[in-house]
Amino acid sequence: MQRRTLLRSATLAALAVVPVGAAPTTSASAAEIPVSSLAELQKAIDGAEAGDRIVVADGTYTVPSGGALSVSGKHGTSSAPITIVSRSRGGVVLKGERSFVLSNSSNITLSGFTFRQSTTLELPADCSAIRLTRNDFQLADSGDPHWLVVRADDTKIDRNRFHGKTTAGVFLVVDGPGSTAMAQNLHVFRNHFSDHTYGGTNGGEALRLGVSGRALSGAHAVVEYNLFERCDGDPEAVSVKSCDNTVRYNTVRDSRGGIVLRHGNRSTVQGNHLLDGGEGIRLYGNDHRIVNNHVSGLSGRALVIGSGSTRDHHAGETKDERRGNDACDRALIAHNSLIGNEETLSGETKPYEPQDVVVADNLLVGDTGSLVAMGATSGFTWQSNLLWGAAANGNIPAGGFTRADPRLAAGADGVLRLTSASPAIGAATLAGTPVTDDVDGDQRGSVRDIGADEYATAAPLRHPLTAADVGPNAP
């Protein structure tokens, strides 16, 4: 049975919207300015105009204690940014207490640097449209500073590598102005986060979008096509503590941490691969969509629909109340494949149980415990889920599933997908689902299959990411 292969050209066009780092258009007056010392670099920055490209000669540069490379009051344009770039990718090593310090600037690009400074690099709230691309971050590993903090709107963080942290602190933190707002429209893509080995129980995330005090603010961030490997500093590799975010098409591999909607509402977790690690996807808050994710080989929980210490966070609550969990209400859990994990679909035992959650068209396969181990639920909808394996069904209602061998086979990338004889094919029944393609990028069509994978015979358009797909040398 061969389906949807003729629709792939349209899907390829859709995938092409991810930027590939083409050179921006510059004005006729734009200049390329070579520099080979910190003094020359600062002078070039001070005189830079829209479209200028400052090229730093390869070498190791140590910024003196108390000093910095100041980018203040400088403004490029969207089509002609001010670009500060290493002559060769990774060829400029910046050491010392600080490197670039930005203020009141916009449309600035920093590219190709190897950051080895000892304090946090910050993009402050009085800046906007700052891009960090093709850089390597491995700051001095002492104390517990965060490595990159973003408070500026319209920031792009792409094709960077963050690696090698043993202390508390986060590779990339997104905050905002004041104490409750969030930076708007962050785009984080094609980055490689790896080897965070902090051994504490909290405070070593790879990426954190917000914090409890900002939980009710919308950020509208998009985190896509990133690779997280050996991110062991926290049970949350990606920790979302704000509203209205999208986390899609990422790969979390061999990591203690998973993707956690810890605080906030209305976020989407879609089309991610979580493979051979510890924790999977965990969600709290309201009106989330968890769709098309492939979660396999985890030693912990594949998907947790969280209960809470409160029903809904609100503006007047105390700090302690805000730090607690908000029970998961009105979530859509659809078209996910949870295969071969220690725990499959589970809940918790906090006072406020989740309610009004739709769990439909998911593939649950496991050999240990129970495939579904929820607490008491209120008004859940269970529909056309497919269960298989030596694990017990658990407490999923009898009308909400079918038990049958899904007839899976591993592809060249090791991912288990449907074969032509699978009973999952054409068996999805949830009406009005917003899922139009699958985890591989195949179009769903009008007749959909259960699980993250829609059966097709052609090679997947999307796949679990490897180091060749991300980081400074990514396409």
Q: Give the span between the Cα atoms of 64 and 59, in whole angstroms.
A: 16
Residues 6+ apart with CB under 8 A from 318: none
Region 413-431: mean pLDDT is: 97
Cα distances (Å, whole numbers) of residue 130 to 152, 165, 225:
8, 25, 20
- Token pair recorded at residue 449: 């299959």
Domain-by-domain residue ranges, the chain? 159-469
Q: Is the pLDDT of residue 34 over 90?
A: yes
Model confidence pLDDT, tens digit, residues 321-352: 788 889 999 999 999 999 999 999 999 999 99
DSSP annotation of 308 reads: B
Residue 321 pLDDT: 77
Phi-psi label, residue 244: left if phi above 0, alpha if psi -120 to 50, beta otherwise: left
Residues 6+ apart with CB under 8 A from 322: 212, 213, 215, 263, 313
Q: What percent of the chain has pLDDT over 70?
A: 94
Across 27-31, 38-42, 214-218, 320-324, least confident range: 27-31
DSSP H/E element including 336: none
Across 16-30, 204-218, 451-465, least confident range: 16-30
Q: Which residues of 246-257 are buried (b: 16+ CB within 10 A; e: fewer)?
A: bbbbbbbbebbb
Residue 29 pLDDT: 58
- In this prediction the pTM is 0.93
Model confidence pLDDT, tens digit, residues 50-66: 999 999 999 999 999 99
Strands (E), 57-189: 59-63, 69-72, 82-86, 92-96, 100-103, 106-111, 113-115, 121-123, 128-133, 136-137, 148-150, 156-158, 161-165, 172-174, 187-189
Q: Give the span between the Cα atoms of 278 and 176, in whole angstroms.
A: 30
Region 380-394: mean pLDDT is: 98
Residue 22 pLDDT: 42
Mode of pairing for the β-strands spanning 32-35 and 53-56: parallel
Helix (H, G, I), strand (E, B) or coil at 177: coil
* Contact indicator for 240, 267 with CB cutoff of 8 Å: yes
Residue 439 pLDDT: 98
pLDDT band at residue 376 under the 50/70/90 scheme: confident
Q: Is the pLDDT of residue 7 over 70?
A: no
Q: Is the dihedral of CA 429, 433, 439, 444 positive or negative?
A: positive
- Token pair recorded at residue 185: 């429209």
Region 62-89: mean pLDDT is: 98
Q: Is the pLDDT of residue 151 over 90?
A: yes
Helix (H, G, I), strand (E, B) or coil at 62: strand
Q: Give the span between the Cα atoms of 40 and 33, in whole angstroms.
A: 10
Region 160-179: mean pLDDT is: 97
Residue 80 pLDDT: 98
Mode of pairing for the β-strands spanning 363-365 and 227-231: unpaired
Region 71-75: mean pLDDT is: 98
Q: Is the pLDDT of residue 264 over 80?
A: yes
Q: What percent of the chain has pLDDT over 90?
A: 86
- Token pair recorded at residue 428: 């999805």
Phi-psi label, residue 162: left if phi above 0, alpha if psi -120 to 50, beta otherwise: beta
How many CB atoms sit inside 10 A of residue 279's CB? 25
pLDDT band at residue 4 under the 50/70/90 scheme: very low
Residue 323 pLDDT: 82
Mean pLDDT (the chain, rounded):
93
Nearest to 123 by CA among 144, 137, 141, 109: 109
CATH 3.20.20.210 fits 159-469, yes or no: no
- Token pair recorded at residue 39: 């003094």
Residue 313 pLDDT: 86
Model confidence pLDDT, tens digit, residues 13-27: 334 334 434 444 444
Residue 334 pLDDT: 98
Starting at the edge strand found earlier in the chain, the sheet holding 121-123 runs 121-123, 148-150, 172-174, 207-210, 236-241, 258-263, 281-283, 301-305, 343-346, 370-373, 392-394
Residue 434 pLDDT: 82
Across 147-151, 161-165, 310-314, 330-334, least confident range: 310-314
Q: Give the span between the Cα atoms of 437 and 262, in whole angstroms.
A: 27
Nearest to 365 by CA among 445, 431, 452, 447: 452
